[in-house]
Amino acid sequence: MKTSVSFLRRKSLRVKIRATVVLALFVLFTQCLISSAQRVAESRRITQSANVSEVRFTIPKGFRLEQSSSSGVAFMRHEKEDLALFVAVTKNQQVDDPYLIALSSGIVSQFLPKQQGFTWKVSRRPNPKMSAYQTSAGTMKGLNDRRYVQTDFVVVKIQLQEIVVGSISTSASERDVRYLFDVEGSEYSFIGWEGLFKLIPSVTGEKYH
């Protein structure tokens, strides 16, 4: 009788071990499937293409395309950070300061829909040169009583058409907004510049390294 009970206990233990192994394998298999699906989704997001006014580009990783309220402008908001990218097709308009200010105002109205009444100033800079097709670049600074916004832009010319590619970021620190607006130079966003650096060659067709 004791032998029979001992046999049954060993058999029960083997069954439990098998069940544990099967469960562990199932969990591992499920995790592999989830990881694989995430990699596929990430890959699709990295290579997701879009177009605006027949200009095709690739949406950088971490950004998502939103429907722009302005014709000829593609707006891409970052999924985690308080910043965005954009591609604006000028349609034979002159890219002067009034155009750039109007462009920034329109983008800010989508980026920060509850903020209005910005004062703007534009500064041009020759460097760094980010594309062989680049015709100009610079920074636009905007300020109201609560927010500072900054647009870094690069203008490229492709087949006689000028395209403005840029990034926009903001600071909500009321202590710093006036200083950021007045000081020479500009606030730096690594994620914004990285996104801009990847977005420009996808617009121009140049190779990205």
Query: Beta strand pairing status for 55-58 and 83-89?
Result: unpaired
pLDDT of the residue at 38: 46
pLDDT of the residue at 187: 64
The answer on pLDDT for 19 being more than 60 is: no
pLDDT of the residue at 49: 87
Sign of CA dihedral 101, 107, 109, 115: negative
pLDDT of the residue at 8: 44
Domain boundaries, the chain: 1-46, 49-204
Residue type, 207: K
**What does the mean pLDDT of the chain come to?**
78
Fold of the 49-204 domain: Protein Transport Mog1p; Chain A (3.40.1000)
* Mean pLDDT value across residues 21-35: 41
SS3 assignment, position 120: strand
For 199, counting Cβ atoms within 10 Å of its Cβ (0-12 exposed, 13-18 middle, 19+ buried), the class is buried
pLDDT: is 106 or 41 the higher one?
106
Which pLDDT band holds residue 146 (cuts at 50, 70, 90)? confident
Which pLDDT band holds residue 155 (cuts at 50, 70, 90)? very high
**Geometric angle at alpha carbon 173, from 168 and 178, rounded to 5°:** 80
Predicted TM-score (pTM) of this structure: 0.73
Distances (CA, A) of 103 to 39, 47, 50, 98, 136: 36, 27, 20, 9, 16
Q: What is the pLDDT of residues 31-86, one digit of tens each?
A: 533 344 344 444 444 468 888 988 999 999 999 998 776 778 999 999 999 899 99
Which pLDDT band holds residue 116 (cuts at 50, 70, 90)? confident
Q: What is the pLDDT of residues 32-46, one digit of tens each?
A: 333 443 444 444 444
Residue 7 CB partners (closer than 8 Å, separation 6+): none
pLDDT: is 22 or 145 the higher one?
145
pLDDT of the residue at 129: 87
**Geometric angle at alpha carbon 69, from 161 and 53, rounded to 5°:** 25
